């Protein structure tokens, strides 16, 4: 532990840290000093953010590095801004809150169009600058010539001729090429006032957008140019997890990866986020557009490119058409639905269909021609947009298609990518079309390089254990680990493991099972002095128990594909409601229900995710990667541990402060201690951390209402007479 009177405390914005918080800061400071990564689990109230930021900022200040704190949860982004403001009010920081271009652009163009507009605008400004210099020079030469210098008059004639050429070039840019007025002002006005404003406080992207809008500037580009060498950057996951974006992002900061200290919040989500950033897709529509693009191209490479792309397109159609059983096509809707194409003993069905359907000199050779032609077409589109010949920057579909096909057919690929074909129905045409996808099973193959390149990283979450699994899944080598359990008074919370029906998927439709769960939920809602949160294994289960429970409380139902913010606000505005949602929805983590917002939280069943081909592939990949060291590694890594983490996150939605109180209920016998002996293969209690297991009170469903009544009476929570059992 650091012994320098903890110099990092200059960045701590409050009077005194908690004892555990001070200990955590010391541990993290020493780890960063040694260049080690940290896995840090801390329950609500641990003060994880400051415990990580404070020593990271001190180490960065001492060594000339930059701290990047990142999350995939909007509410946490706001919390980071508040913490950064509190810190900078005590110890001055140059901090930037960064967001993607799409949410900050004043003219709403995509990245490629923006790049072309910037290039042309910069050309215009450079030409105008050259014109201004020549005009000044022409005036000086004219003055000297009028004073009798023949050499000056001769030089002036040459300058005037050059000036005319530049003026013609300026006119051509202004009339025939596209530029950006906002970026033009960035390059032509004094922006020092903006940067003085930016670093006077911690500004949000919305703040920057509004300020820039009022001044006619491009705030996104100003922000990029002002990030060089800052102390702290707050950003989203994709700025670090996407390799292409990460390279640009570090360039804007002006740091090499080894000069970055990264703090990942909600780090249990890094696994799934890395998969999302690694996935590659190619739709049948893009293949058709590529063929249309090639049609009529007068190039020797066109036939080769069209042949290989059309063969892949036909193979994709064949792969999904052959999978349709009688009547299946009619059931395809607007959502992507996976088709099984992988085979245990041979190549996938799409690759086989391609190899069987291909005729030509060799698909590798023709793919090379397609890629070369695609790059040339893409460069042509870029130039045409810069010259104003195109209103928008055209995407090269040939390049996209050929690049994906090359990756799909690369027999030497050992990245653990799983081949998937999906289908959906186009609502506008009512036609079914397909999509090929390369799905990455083990995120460590994506994230390991990142963690190896950074100086160090702190991965923090309330649900990061088991640490060995996190270490293996994301590729962190020999990290420092620490965990702090719930810090609030234990007597102000109860965790009940209810010995109710085991909600196996095979029993979910049993009317007797449903009735027992519904009656238990009615008891829970009735004896809760306030709002109740009910998390179910799926949205359909949430709807089922929303409809089956007869309660006087106001019922709210979260449904898939709908905006949950308004629903949550309506629920928390009341004081006697019950909200039914899916554990895998948006309300299970990253959302606080403080005080009266929710008193009781219920997790119904063990909410395993839907087990499909992708999940099977992930399990198989984990079995191969870690099966030598652990039995059932695939199931544990891919299914059980993520499910228990989601369950722990849901339980953490209530009891959010030392004065708060509430009950957390696990409604399924698989959570009970007895299940460890009676149904060992299905019990999940052992996957919870030891201190959380110790707090679980096993109880029968018929006795739960009495336990809740006693607990909430002890908390003096009932406004009037308590409910009668």
- Calculate mean pLDDT across residues 691-713: 97
Higher pLDDT, 323 or 561: 323
- Helix (H) / strand (E) containing 503: none
pLDDT at residue 1 greater than cutoff 60: no
Q: What is the pLDDT of residue 159?
A: 87
Q: What is the pLDDT of residue 2?
A: 40
Confidence of residue 312 (pLDDT cuts 50, 70, 90): very high
The residues, ordered by sequence, that sit 6+ positions from 578 with a Cβ below 8 Å of its Cβ are 525, 531, 532, 533, 534, 549, 551, 553, 554, 555, 556
Q: What is the pLDDT of residue 325?
A: 85
pLDDT at residue 317 greater than cutoff 90: yes
**Gap between the Cα atoms of 404 and 421, Å rounded:** 14
pLDDT at residue 599 greater than cutoff 90: yes
Q: Is 550 helix (H, G, I), strand (E, B) or coil?
A: coil
pLDDT tens per residue, range 382-424:
888 777 777 667 889 999 999 999 999 985 445 568 999 999 9
Whole-number Cα distances in Å, 581 to 387, 397, 518, 525, 568: 53, 40, 15, 15, 11
Which ranges in 387-429 belong to alpha helices (H)? 397-408
pLDDT at residue 579 greater than cutoff 70: yes
Q: What is the pLDDT of residue 415?
A: 54
Q: Are 245 and 238 in contact (CB under 8 A)?
A: yes
Confidence of residue 147 (pLDDT cuts 50, 70, 90): confident
Q: What is the pLDDT of residue 412?
A: 43
**Gap between the Cα atoms of 286 and 280, Å rounded:** 13
Of 403, 482, 473, residue with least CA distance to 436: 403
**Gap between the Cα atoms of 473 and 461, Å rounded:** 15
pLDDT tens per residue, range 532-573:
999 999 999 999 999 999 999 999 999 987 888 889 999 999
Q: What is the pLDDT of residue 404?
A: 96
Q: What is the pLDDT of residue 630?
A: 76
What token pair was written down for 202? Answer: 């911690």
373 forms beta bridges with none
40 forms beta bridges with 460, 482
pLDDT at residue 631 greater than cutoff 80: no
Confidence of residue 670 (pLDDT cuts 50, 70, 90): very high
**Gap between the Cα atoms of 320 and 303, Å rounded:** 26
pLDDT tens per residue, range 333-369:
999 999 989 988 889 999 999 999 999 999 999 999 9
Q: What is the pLDDT of residue 327?
A: 79
Q: What is the pLDDT of residue 394?
A: 83
Q: Are 622 and 442 in contact (CB under 8 A)?
A: yes
pLDDT at residue 148 greater than cutoff 70: yes
pLDDT tens per residue, range 81-107:
999 999 999 999 999 999 888 788 888
pLDDT at residue 3 greater than cutoff 50: no
**Gap between the Cα atoms of 99 and 540, Å rounded:** 35
pLDDT at residue 4 greater than cutoff 70: no
- Calculate mean pLDDT across residues 671-685: 94
Q: What is the pLDDT of residue 152?
A: 84
pLDDT tens per residue, range 477-494:
999 999 999 889 999 999
pLDDT at residue 139 greater than cutoff 50: yes
User: How many CB atoms are located within 10 Å of the residue 614 CB?
Assistant: 19
What token pair was written down for 108? Answer: 């709403």
Confidence of residue 285 (pLDDT cuts 50, 70, 90): very high
Exposure letters 516-543 (e unless 16+ CB within 10 A, then b): ebbbbbbbbbbbbbbbbbbbbbbbebbb
- Dihedrals φ, ψ of 475, to 5°? 80, 40
The answer to which of 138-147, 573-582, 697-706 has the lowest mean pLDDT is 138-147
pLDDT at residue 7 greater than cutoff 80: yes
The answer to which of 101-110, 132-141, 550-559, 703-712 has the lowest mean pLDDT is 101-110
**Gap between the Cα atoms of 257 and 253, Å rounded:** 10
Q: What is the pLDDT of residue 577?
A: 97
In a 10 Å sphere around its CB, with 0-12 CB exposed, 13-18 middle and 19+ buried, how is residue 162 labelled?
middle
pLDDT tens per residue, range 234-256:
999 999 998 888 999 999 999 99
Of 671, 680, 659, residue with least CA distance to 704: 671
**Gap between the Cα atoms of 564 and 576, Å rounded:** 19
pLDDT at residue 150 greater than cutoff 70: yes
Q: How many residues does the chain have?
A: 725
pLDDT over 70, % of the chain: 98
Q: What is the pLDDT of residue 411?
A: 58
pLDDT at residue 680 greater than cutoff 70: yes
Confidence of residue 112 (pLDDT cuts 50, 70, 90): confident
pLDDT tens per residue, range 604-624:
999 998 888 999 999 999 998
How do 66-71 and 260-264 pair as beta strands? Answer: parallel
Averaged pLDDT of the chain:
92
**Gap between the Cα atoms of 612 and 439, Å rounded:** 13
Q: Is 242 left (phi over 0), alpha (psi -120 to 50) or beta?
A: beta
Angle value at C-alpha 707, between 706 and 711, nearest 5 degrees: 115
Q: Are 271 and 448 in contact (CB under 8 A)?
A: no
- Dihedrals φ, ψ of 207, to 5°? -60, -45
- Calculate mean pLDDT across residues 187-210: 94
The answer to which of 253-262, 293-302, 389-398, 640-649 has the lowest mean pLDDT is 389-398
DSSP string, 119-134: HHHHHHHHHHHHHHHH
Q: Are 271 and 459 in contact (CB under 8 A)?
A: no
End-to-end CA distance of the chain: 53
């Amino acid at each position: 532990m650091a012994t320098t009177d903890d110099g990092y405390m200059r960045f701590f914005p409050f009077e005194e840290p908690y004892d555990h918080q001070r200990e955590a800061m010391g541990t993290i400071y020493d780890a960063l000093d040694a260049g080690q990564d940290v896995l840090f689990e801390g329950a609500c109230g641990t003060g994880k953010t400051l415990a990580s930021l404070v020593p990271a900022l001190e180490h960065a200040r001492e060594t000339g590095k930059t701290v990047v704190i990142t999350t995939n949860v909007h509410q946490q982004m706001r919390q980071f801004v508040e913490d950064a403001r509190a810190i900078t009010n005590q110890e001055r920081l140059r901090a930037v809150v960064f967001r993607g271009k799409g949410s900050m652009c004043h003219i709403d163009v995509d990245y490629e169009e923006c790049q072309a507009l910037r290039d042309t605008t910069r050309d215009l400004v450079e030409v105008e600058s050259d014109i201004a210099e020549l005009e000044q020079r022409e005036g000086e030469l004219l003055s000297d010539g009028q004073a009798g210098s023949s050499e000056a008059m001769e030089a002036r004639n040459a300058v005037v001729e050059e000036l005319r050429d530049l003026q013609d070039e300026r006119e051509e840019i202004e009339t025939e090429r596209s530029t950006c007025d906002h970026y033009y002002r960035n390059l032509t006005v004094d922006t020092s006032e903006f940067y003085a404003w930016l670093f006077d406080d911690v500004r949000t992207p919305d703040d920057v957008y509004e300020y820039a809008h009022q001044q006619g500037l491009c705030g996104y580009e100003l922000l990029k140019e002002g990030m060089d060498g800052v102390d702290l950057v707050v950003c989203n996951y994709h700025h670090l997890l996407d390799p292409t974006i990460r390279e640009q992002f570090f360039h804007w900061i002006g740091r090499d990866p080894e000069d970055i200290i990264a703090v990942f919040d909600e780090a249990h989500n890094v696994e799934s986020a890395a998969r999302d950033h690694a996935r590659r897709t190619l739709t049948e529509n893009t293949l058709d557009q590529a063929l249309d693009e090639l049609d009529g191209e007068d190039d020797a490479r066109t036939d080769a490119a069209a042949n290989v792309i059309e063969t892949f397109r036909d193979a994709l159609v064949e792969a999904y058409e052959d999978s349709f059983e009688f009547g299946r096509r009619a059931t395809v809707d607007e959502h992507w639905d996976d088709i099984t194409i992988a085979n245990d003993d041979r190549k996938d069905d799409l690759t086989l269909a391609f190899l069987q359907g291909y005729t030509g000199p060799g698909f590798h050779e023709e793919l090379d021609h397609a890629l070369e032609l695609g790059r040339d077409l893409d460069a042509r589109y870029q130039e045409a947009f810069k010259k104003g010949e195109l209103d928008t920057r055209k995407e090269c579909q040939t390049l996209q298609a050929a690049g994906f096909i090359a990756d799909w057919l690369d027999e030497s690929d050992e990245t653990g990518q799983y081949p998937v074909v999906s289908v959906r129905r186009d609502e506008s045409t009512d036609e079914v079309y397909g999509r090929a996808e390369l799905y990455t099973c083990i995120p460590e193959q994506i994230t390991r390089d990142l963690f190896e390149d950074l100086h160090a990283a702190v991965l923090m979450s309330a649900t990061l254990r088991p640490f060995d699994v996190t270490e293996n899944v994301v590729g962190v080598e020999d990290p420092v680990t620490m965990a702090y359990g719930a810090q609030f008074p234990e007597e102000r919370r109860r965790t009940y493991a209810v010995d109710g029906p085991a909600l196996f998927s095979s029993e979910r439709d049993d009317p007797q099972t449903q009735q027992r769960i519904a009656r238990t939920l009615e008891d829970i809602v009735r004896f809760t002095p306030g709002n109740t949160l009910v998390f179910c294994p799926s949205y359909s289960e949430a709807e089922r128990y929303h409809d089956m429970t007869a309660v006087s409380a106001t019922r709210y139902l979260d449904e898939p594909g709908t905006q949950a913010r308004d629903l949550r606000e309506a629920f928390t505005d009341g004081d006697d409601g019950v909200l039914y949602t899916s554990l895998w929805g948006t309300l299970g983590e990253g959302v606080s229900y403080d005080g009266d917002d929710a008193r009781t939280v219920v997790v119904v069943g063990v909410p395993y995710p839907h087990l499909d081909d992708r999940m099977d592939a992930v399990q198989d990949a984990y079995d191969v990667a870690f099966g030598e060291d652990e039995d059932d590694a695939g199931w544990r890594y891919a299914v059980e541990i993520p499910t228990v983490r989601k369950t722990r996150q849901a339980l953490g939605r209530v009891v959010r402060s030392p004065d708060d109180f509430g009950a957390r209920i696990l409604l399924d016998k698989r959570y009970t201690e007895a299940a460890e002996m009676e149904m060992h293969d299905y019990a999940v209690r052992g996957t919870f951390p030891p201190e959380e297991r110790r707090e679980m009170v096993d109880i029968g469903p018929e006795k739960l209402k009495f336990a809740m009544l006693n607990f909430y009476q002890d908390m003096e929570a009932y406004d009037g007479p308590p409910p009668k059992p």
